[in-house]
Amino acid sequence: MKISDVFTPRTTTVNLKTYVPRSELELALSRSIQGSLHSVLFGESGNGKSWLYRKVFEGYGYHYKVANCANACRAKSVAGEIYKALMPKGFVQKTGYNETKEATAKAVFLDGKISHQGQYKVDDVDQLYVALSTFRKQIGLGDAVVVLENLEAIVDDADLMDELANILLLLDDPIYGDFKIKFLLVGVPNGVLELFAKTKNVESVANRLHELPKVGGLTLPMVETLVDKGFNDLLKYNLPSASKTEIAAHIHRVTLGVAQRAQEYCEHLAYALEDARLIYSNERLKEADKAWLSGGLRQAYTAIESHLNSKQTTIARRNQVIYCIGYMTSHQIDSISIAEKIKANFPSTAKENNMGIAGILADLAASEMPLLRKNPKTKDFRVADPRYLMCIRVMLYINPVSRAVEKKAFKH
């Protein structure tokens, strides 16, 4: 098989060849659609939300249409985007017509006739009703779902969130509810109450939505499944068990288990193995690191590079801090947790106090390309973009002799 047919990080259709099952999430989504509420599916970008719901809907035979909230934001209408997504391709809604009437004008032209044109405008149609009724007529019986993708595109637009809230409330009305069409909201944000916090009917809307478990990154066993299925079952590379284990651990570490990024990395590694006539060694991972970093993390590399110490100092504390940020397991970052990491990784340079970590964290959040964001309510920080974590794990390493943090000099 072609590598590009096995590892497909950017396809909208589900690649069943390398889809990694998530049985608990799949079951939860299916049961939610069968329930009485509408559903909310959330998770960080790239973690496979779209593949998940498409796999479930297609596997269970649900009829579904996808409306994009990014288009709703651009057109300033959620109902309009739903209408556009559900109506058949090529359908044109008649918004007006001309009528020609002939009138006798004997006084002017004897028995001649004169034509008069009158222009008439059709009243505004209920786009939501027309869209839902048309969708139901098209599919007949069966479970039907309208998916609203990229919900994050409208969460900061009060008017569009009000419109969405009103649509969800209207779906309880028999005029719309009799079509028995469920809605699935898909996006990065989480917390139903937070989503609709500024709408007038926040409690009423929240009572109509079921928030599903977060779609997180792939676990290490899931990445092992991806590696085994992709490289051995499909590409027939016949990697030994020890190599598969090493590869999966590396991919899980540098990609944070983000599904899209794991697929990207596997694609680069497959080409590296192909070029090496399928002979695996640790060098193949280094080649894949370079290709993956150059292909998708150039901006992240530039941002991190701009924050490193401009010259090699005795301690290079800033470099140590950035290195340690890349290996934090908590989303919240503070000077105490970073100090513990520095003591563990760089014990010969660590001090009991006055390491200047707090100031370094503040600087990393204050630049034009910030690596961190400060929580306005606490003194904690969070990484501005998950890609920075991935990039740190690939580009920075500890020199085994000097124990200094150094960067891999990739061209970018």
Residue extents of the structural domains in the chain: 21-89+126-211, 220-296, 298-407
pLDDT for residue 44: 87
Q: What 3-state DSSP class applies to 67? A: strand
The pLDDT of residue 108 is 41
- Whether residue 236 has pLDDT greater than 50: yes
d(CA 37, CA 211): 10
Inter-CA distances, 337 with 46, 97, 344, 347, 390, Å: 28, 70, 11, 15, 19
pLDDT at residue number 26: 96
Q: 200 versus 121: which is more confidently predicted?
A: 200
Query: Is 21-89+126-211's fold the same as 298-407's?
Result: no
Q: Indicate the pLDDT class of residue 297, thresholds 50, 70 and 90.
A: confident
Residue 190 confidence (pLDDT):
74
Look at the chain and count its residues.
Answer: 412
Average pLDDT over residues 258-263: 93
Of 218, 187, 193, nearest in space to 66 by CA: 187
Q: Is the pLDDT of residue 273 over 80?
A: yes
Question: What's the average model confidence in pLDDT over 386-404?
Answer: 90
Mean pLDDT in residue range 207-217: 93
Residue with tokens 């899209």: 260
Q: Cα–chain-centroid distance for residue 82? A: 20
At residue 212's C-alpha, the angle toward residues 25 and 197, to 5°, is: 160
Q: What is the pLDDT of residues 97-122, one digit of tens each?
A: 454 444 444 444 444 444 445 444 33
State how far the Cα of 26 lies from the Cα of 21, in Å rounded to an integer.
8
CATH no. of 21-89+126-211: 3.40.50.300
- Confidence (pLDDT) at 410: 66
CB 300 within 8 A of CB 383: no
Overall average pLDDT of the 352-379 stretch:
86
Please give the backbone phi and psi of residue 21, each rounded to the nearest 5 degrees, phi first.
-60, 145
Residue type, 44: E
pTM more than 0.85: no
Determine the residue type at 65. K
DSSP run (H or E) holding 116: strand 113-121
What is d(CA 248, CA 226) in angstroms, rounded to the nearest whole number?
8
What number is the average pLDDT over the span 84-109?
Answer: 58
**Is the pLDDT score of 351 beyond 90?**
no
Q: CA angle 359-391-373, nearest 5°?
A: 40
Runs of H (alpha helix) within 316-380? 317-325, 335-345, 357-366
Per-residue pLDDT tens over the stretch 123-179: 346 899 999 999 999 999 999 999 999 999 999 899 999 999 999 999 999 999 999
Highest mean pLDDT among 113-127, 189-203, 258-272: 258-272
Tell me the pLDDT band of 312, cut-offs 50, 70 and 90.
low
Task: Over range 66-93, report the average pLDDT.
Answer: 88
Contact 284, 276 (CB under 8 A): yes
CA distance 223 to 218: 6
CATH of domain 298-407: 1.10.10
Q: Examine the pLDDT at 285 and tell me if it is beyond 90.
A: yes
Helices (H) and strands (E) in the chain, counts: 20, 11
**Beta carbons within 8 Å of 329's beta carbon, 6+ residues apart:** none
Average pLDDT over residues 43-72: 94
What single-letter DSSP state applies at residue 333? B
pLDDT for the residue 330: 77
- What is the 3-class SS of 254-297, one letter each residue? HHCCCHHHHHHHHHHHHHHHHHCCCCCCHHHHHHHHHHHHHHHC
- Give the model's pLDDT for residue 314: 59
- The predicted pLDDT at position 92 comes to 53
Q: What does the pLDDT read at residue 69?
A: 95
User: For residue 91, what pLDDT is reported?
Assistant: 60
8 Å CB contact between 212 and 40: yes
What are the pLDDT digits (tens) for 26-55?
A: 999 999 999 999 999 999 888 999 999 999
CA 37 to chain CA mean position, Å: 23
Return the amino acid letter for 142. G
Q: Residue 121 pairs with which residues in a beta bridge?
A: 96
